[in-house]
Amino acid sequence: MVSFASEKVFSLGSIPITNTVLNTFVVDVALIAGALFLTKRLNQIPSLMQNAIEALIETFYNLTQTVAPNRAAKIFPYLATFFLFILISNWSGLIPGVGSIGFFHNGQLIPILRSTTSDLNTTLGLALVSAVATHLLSLRIIGIKEYFGRYFSLNPVNLYVGLLEIISEITKVISLSFRLFGNIFAGEVVLITISGIFAFIFPVPFLLLEFIVGFVQALVFAMLTMAFMAILSTPHHQTAKEVNHKEYES
């Protein structure tokens, strides 16, 4: 049976270290090591791997430019970071041994590693980081007056709309966190259940399905973050085209 909450593996003093936290460290190390490895092997005549990575980066950057042309350089790092971290976190749960190798405590298996994004704490943290980064970017681009004018006004109608926007910001965090958590946790439950019944061959289609789900959920989270950043960095009284022209002149 899969535990809804992540399980404690050991403690550092009074700080409990859970299997999802351990997996987060593994994902972080993998991403940092991969970045260092790739940057040391950049060539003017790119290899097949370098070509593929550059094509992927260019695709995402061009996509960001279509949404926010002159803000792409500010938004793209968030898009890429969220996508890569969530993608590797999702796929890490499909590695043999993750979620199945561990120790028994009170007759229950405690896996040493468990998919990072199968923990609601992690997905909620990612959603909060996304929301905070979005609002800080909005403040930086449109200024304090325009930012608070989006939510507060002496006009009763605009004030009501602003309050609705505040509520929508809260629901964005809930939506982002529960969508990612629900899909990954449900996939983990399905895989463990199917693997417990059929050891060979039959679980393969489900593994392929979760491979696709992991990619889609990482893409959805990153794309929604990009969209929120583009929207909140556009003043109410200006179109996106006017904002981009103003930024270009400055």
Pairwise CA distance, residues 142 & 163, whole Å: 19
Query: Is 19 within the bounds of a domain?
Result: yes
* Residue 140 placed within a domain: yes
Range of the domain at 167: 8-249
Say what the pLDDT of residue 2 is: 65
- Does residue 39 belong to any structural domain of this protein? yes
In a domain, 3, yes or no: no
Instruction: Please report the pLDDT score of residue 237 as a whole number.
Output: 60
Q: Structurally, how many domains does the chain consist of?
A: 1
Please give the angle made by the CA atoms of 150, 152 and 153, to the nearest 5 degrees: 100
20 in a structural domain: yes
Query: CA nearest 181: which of 220, 227, 155?
Result: 220
State pTM to two decimals. 0.87
- Structural domain contains residue 15: yes
Whether 59 is covered by a domain: the verdict is yes
- According to the model, what pLDDT value does residue 197 have? 77
Tokens of 133: 């980064």
- Report d(CA 209, CA 135) in Å as an integer: 35
In a domain, 171, yes or no: yes
pLDDT on residue 11 = 87
Segments of the chain with pLDDT less than 70: 1-2, 236-250
The CA-CA-CA angle for residues 182, 14, 22, to 5°, reads 40
pLDDT of residue 150: 84
Task: Tell me the per-residue pLDDT of 85-106, one tens digit each, with 9 for 90 and over.
Answer: 999 999 998 888 887 788 887 7
Distance of CA 181 to the CA centre of its chain: 11
Supply the pLDDT for residue 236. 66
Q: What is the pLDDT of residue 78?
A: 94
